[in-house]
Amino acid sequence: MKTFFKVIGIAVLTIVALAAIGVSWLALRKPAQRPASAERIEATPERIARGSYLVNHVADCLGCHSEHTLAYGFPIKPGREGAGGIVWDEKMGFPGRLAAANLTPDPETGLGKWSDGEILRAMREGVDRNGDALFPIMPYVQLRNLSDDDAKAIVAYLRTLRPIRYEKPKKQLNVPLNFIEKFIPQPLEGRVTAPDPNDSVAYGRYLTRIGGCYECHTPHDNKGPIEAQAFSGGWEMIGPWGRNVTANLTPHPDTFVGRATKAEFIGRFRAFANFTAANAPAAPKGRNTVMPWIELSGMTDHDLGAIYDYLKTVTPVAKKVDTFPNAQ
């Protein structure tokens, strides 16, 4: 009998030891990655202008990476552009704590010491300059679609931001997300090009990927976006703005996209064109929005029209979404 219990004890200790080794391996494991490019990006006026358009409007990088006021439309707080802003935590339904990074060229707390190649890799491949995984609330999975030219333009523009010293709160992910995030990044292979802007549908699809429309307006499961329900909305977002649920953007007859003309679609964005932190009205109770209307209102008619043309081609989904469930 003693021998039996001794064998059981050894087996249990072996299992515990193997489990400890496995946990240690996961904790130390680096994500799949390739070395950051050594390329230095030439900051031409044209490239910086394109980067400004992408960062401030299409991709709305500063929407997450800046502090905001609570006026209607959640406008960016002047003087804090790119310094880091939104913090996701358990009050927002996030399993842990995650803060948007400082994108300014501050050498201690921002991107000042990052190489151009390290920024490119982080943006599209989800790996930071230390080779650690970024959590995919930073939408690098969709930003893989970002063309090489547009990615370089973003880097060139970020270098022009005013350096702001801001140390973001440390990342803290609950188990098992702290392990799962390590398996999500994948290295890019080969060049990435954008569709011809004259191909309105193809270019609109491109813009919905790099602009976050697909990511935010598509339901997710534990494997990622559910393609059969693409753009049908229903993703709840809780934060300082209140409680929002993303809208159904499919062209079903009961949705805005299904009913609207192209001019009406563009006009919905243009209604926010003059909103700033200084002049935006107070938000109606329960109806403030994290949807970046203010930033997206700066997109061109051509690009907003391309998004409209593309959305008209996606599969209609019959789903009624209450976008402001706490509205009064």
Q: Give the tokens for residue 6.
A: 């001794």
For residue 224, the cross-strand partners are 221
Q: How far is CA 21 from CA 27, 29, 131, 270, in A?
A: 10, 12, 22, 56
Instruction: Give the pLDDT of residue 203.
Output: 99
Instruction: Give the pLDDT of residue 28.
Output: 56
Distance from C-alpha of 232 to C-alpha of 220, rounded to nearest angstrom: 11
Instruction: Give the pLDDT of residue 220.
Output: 92
With a cut of 50, say whether residue 7 has pLDDT above it. no
pLDDT tens profile 138-186: 999 999 999 999 999 999 999 999 999 999 999 999 999 999 999 999 9
Q: What's the whole-number mean pLDDT along residues 221-228?
A: 90
Distance from C-alpha of 161 to C-alpha of 169, rounded to nearest angstrom: 21
Q: What's the whole-number mean pLDDT along residues 29-46?
A: 96
For residue 96, the cross-strand partners are 173
Instruction: Give the pLDDT of residue 11.
Output: 43
pLDDT tens profile 278-301: 999 999 899 999 999 999 999 999
Instruction: Give the pLDDT of residue 3.
Output: 54
Instruction: Give the pLDDT of residue 85.
Output: 86
Residues in the chain: 328
Q: Give the tokens for residue 155.
A: 């880097």
pLDDT tens profile 63-96: 999 999 999 999 999 999 999 989 999 988 899 9
Q: How far is CA 262 from CA 37, 59, 120, 289, 306, in A?
A: 41, 21, 34, 23, 9
Q: How confident is the model at residue 131 (pLDDT cuts 50, 70, 90)?
A: very high
